[in-house]
Amino acid sequence: MNIFKRFSLLIGLAFLISGCNIYRQPMVPYYNSSNIGTKVDESSSMQISESAANVNETISTEGVFTPAKEGSVTTKDRTVVQRIPFPENEYKSLATTGSATVKGKIYIVTAGGNKVYGKNTRLYLNPVTSYSTQWYNESYLGGAKMSKVDTRLFNYLKFTTSDSNGNFEFLNVPSGSYYLIGVVKCGTACGYDKVKKIRIAKKISVFGNDIKVEELSKRVQ
């Protein structure tokens, strides 16, 4: 046996004795882009929910079109606006139980006066805080693109889904002020070449056993 074969044999025995497997691949951490900062193993059940993913799109400007509102300020450049630090104490002070109801209809009014209803679309109640107010002013009214939302916000949202006629209802809503938010899809009926997701938001308040009826609507030109 020549020197090379002896050397190869010794190397093989060393790996066998040590229990090493030269073909074993190191595990690479998996990062969910919708949940920045959270490291998740591919075999783990720690995944951000579909609801949270939808919220992330609805309360950002990406993929959602906001028609200019009369009297609103429109951001001319595309600089990303950094969100303020998440005000944890503000959110912890919010009521967590309630008995109010918020219901109504979500729709777009076209230039011709026709209504395009938000069919089977997700709607949210986002508590009014300094954090959500920055989003409302900078993104919804101003049209600015904002940095990623803090995922802790998802713990404080209430959501529901409209029916095929745009009717929606939130039950057991705690007293307080909220941004009521939803998205309507509209294409040629609104004068667009392709279907766009049009975001609508308005500020509402409820107290006690209120039954609040709201029309969440917007006119497009």
Tell me whether residue 106 is in a domain.
Answer: yes
The mean pLDDT of 93-115, rounded to a whole number, is 95
Q: Closest by alpha carbon to 197, among 57, 77, 103?
A: 57
Distance CA 75, CA 65 (A): 14
Tell me whether residue 33 is in a domain.
Answer: no
Reported confidence tier of residue 44, pLDDT bands at 50, 70, 90 = very low
Token reading at 106: 């979500």
Reported confidence tier of residue 164, pLDDT bands at 50, 70, 90 = very high
Reported confidence tier of residue 72, pLDDT bands at 50, 70, 90 = very low
Helices (H), strands (E): how many in the chain?
4, 10
Tell me whether residue 200 is in a domain.
Answer: yes
Does the CA dihedral 124-198-52-80 come out positive or negative?
A: negative
Tell me whether residue 27 is in a domain.
Answer: no
In which region does residue 172 sit, left (phi positive, over 0), alpha (psi from -120 to 50) or beta (all else)? left
Tell me whether residue 30 is in a domain.
Answer: no
The mean pLDDT of 164-174, rounded to a whole number, is 97
Distance CA 119, CA 50 (A): 18
Q: Closest by alpha carbon to 65, among 136, 143, 2?
A: 143
Distance CA 148, CA 83 (A): 8
pLDDT at residue 221, as a whole number: 77
Tell me whether residue 138 is in a domain.
Answer: yes
CATH code for position 100: 2.60.40.10
Tell me whether residue 197 is in a domain.
Answer: yes
pTM of the model: 0.71
Reported confidence tier of residue 24, pLDDT bands at 50, 70, 90 = very low
> Number of structural domains, the chain?
1
Question: Has residue 94 got a pLDDT over 70?
Answer: yes
Tell me whether residue 102 is in a domain.
Answer: yes
Q: What percent of the chain is predicted at pLDDT more than 90?
A: 61
Q: In terms of residue numbers, what domain contains 129?
A: 49-219
Q: Please say whether the beta carbons of 158 and 96 come within 8 A.
A: no
Reported confidence tier of residue 191, pLDDT bands at 50, 70, 90 = confident
